[in-house]
A and B are shown apart, each in its own frame.
Chain A
Amino acid sequence: MTMNRRDFIKTNAVAATAAAAGLALPAVKTAAAAQDGIRWDKGVCRFCGTGCGVLVGVKDGRVVATQGDPDAPVNKGLNCIKGYFLSKIMYGRDRLTKPLLRGRNGKFDKNTNEFSEIGWDQAFDIMAEKWKAAIDPEDPKGATRVGMFGSGQWTIWEGYAASKFMKAGLRSNNIDPNARHCMASAVGAFMRAFGIDEPMGCYDDLEHADVFVLWGANMAEMHPILWSRLTNTRLTKKGCEVHVLSTFENRNFELADNGIVFTPQPDAPPALHDAA
């Protein structure tokens, strides 16, 4: 039987989706998929902190397909709709792919808002020159004049290389990921409330817990994959309850056994109110 490639791709999409639901469709060819000229590798989605495993399909040097990794313990074959942009985002027509220099006529000038394309070699030369001038080895405080902002989503290897470059190479301590900004305040609050930092619990609790309390957390929209696991537990486990506390009715309320909308900044914590 011949199948055109469009139908073939569609069949793959259906088969993968059915498999994620635990449905085995009559042997749709994994063998055929291997002949499709797509090379599959593993990656991780970086669009939120959930950390879903993703299989990435590359054909002729271009990402053409992505699929939730069925073997990833976090997402078990699912991605959320943000995963739609995992491949798309790399080929957006408005994506910046060449370095831009602020200035005029190929010369750096901080006083203008004009930018023009330059080559990578020239870009690195200019950056090196500016950094060297800022650091000034004669000045003991020279290294404090440069800094690097990293990302909480960079890989261990990227973070390691960046850290060595800044600390060992440039002798500067000015390196931090954005995670410092977001977690520093959370850690402070955790210490005050619970005496220990870091969020408590682990993903496995989503299957083991009997009662869920979502307080000020719009899981359905912000952490959709973990929400799908919670949904699954609520619908399949006898006696499982979901309590949602929020200042407005968010999408979690569709599943809530007990949805509480409270006015912002109430006199008494809503939990006490509910228990009373």
Chain B
Amino acid sequence: MPDAQSFLADEFNICGVLVQTKPGGLDDVIGALSALPGLEIHERAGDGQLVVTIEDTATDPASETLSRVFGVDGVLNASLVYHHCEPIEDILSEA
């Protein structure tokens, strides 16, 4: 495996993830999720679903954080809806 750091330095990497939580514990789940690196909660949908994005941070690749979402108590499922990964120089040149 190429080491994670080499990915982080030169790519803009973002995931749009739909998290399904167990009924009842939404606030706890939100608290635990917010503590994960590179994770942002954007919307609450009906039936305990959360719209979140996960990005690489300087130390944590998005793929790791994504896997950690499943370990959060009260998370029933997390689905990847959108994934964008592009070399950073391409993004800067168009910014």
Contact check, A225 vs B85: say whether CB atoms are below 8 A apart. no
Contact check, A13 vs B18: say whether CB atoms are below 8 A apart. no
Q: How far apart are the CA atoms of A29 and B52 in the complex, in Å?
A: 19
Contact check, A84 vs B63: say whether CB atoms are below 8 A apart. yes
Q: How far apart are the CA atoms of A16 and B42 in the complex, in Å?
A: 12
Contact check, B42 vs A80: say whether CB atoms are below 8 A apart. no
Contact check, A87 vs B77: say whether CB atoms are below 8 A apart. no
- Give chain B's interface residue range (CB within 8 Å of chain A): 35 or more
Task: Tell me the minimal C-beta distance from B68 to chain A in angstroms.
Answer: 11
Contact check, B81 vs A79: say whether CB atoms are below 8 A apart. yes
**A86: B residues at CB distance < 8 A:** 83
Interface SS, A side: helix
Contact check, B83 vs A18: say whether CB atoms are below 8 A apart. no
Q: How far apart are the CA atoms of A267 and B82 in the complex, in Å?
A: 48
Contact check, B81 vs A17: say whether CB atoms are below 8 A apart. yes
**B15: A residues at CB distance < 8 A:** 13, 84
Choose one: B42, B47, B62, B86; the contact of A235 (CB below 8 Å).
Answer: B47
Contact check, B14 vs A20: say whether CB atoms are below 8 A apart. no
**B9: A residues at CB distance < 8 A:** none
Q: How far apart are the CA atoms of A255 and B20 in the complex, in Å?
A: 11
- Give chain A's interface residue range (CB within 8 Å of chain B): 35 or more
Contact check, A13 vs B79: say whether CB atoms are below 8 A apart. no
Interface flags, A43-59, vs B, CB<8A=1, else 0: 00000000000000101
Task: Tell me the minimal C-beta distance from A137 to chain B in angstroms.
Answer: 46
Answer whether residue B17 sits at the interface, using C-beta atoms and an 8 A cutoff: yes
Contact check, B80 vs A6: say whether CB atoms are below 8 A apart. no
Given contacts A84-B63, A251-B70, contact A9 B14 (CB under 8 A): yes
Contact check, A25 vs B77: say whether CB atoms are below 8 A apart. no
Contact check, B14 vs A10: say whether CB atoms are below 8 A apart. yes
What are 20 residue pairs bridging A and B, where the CB atoms are less than 8 Å apart in the complex? A10-B53, A13-B83, A14-B51, A17-B53, A18-B42, A18-B45, A20-B81, A21-B18, A25-B43, A65-B86, A66-B82, A68-B79, A78-B80, A79-B79, A79-B83, A80-B80, A81-B79, A93-B2, A235-B47, A251-B70
B residues within 8 Å of A by Cβ? Answer: 1-2, 6, 12, 14-18, 20, 22-23, 42-43, 45-49, 51-53, 62-63, 66-67, 70, 76-86, 90-91, 94-95
- A-B CB proximity, top 8 nearest: A13-B16, A17-B16, A21-B45, A78-B79, A16-B82, A17-B81, A65-B84, A93-B2
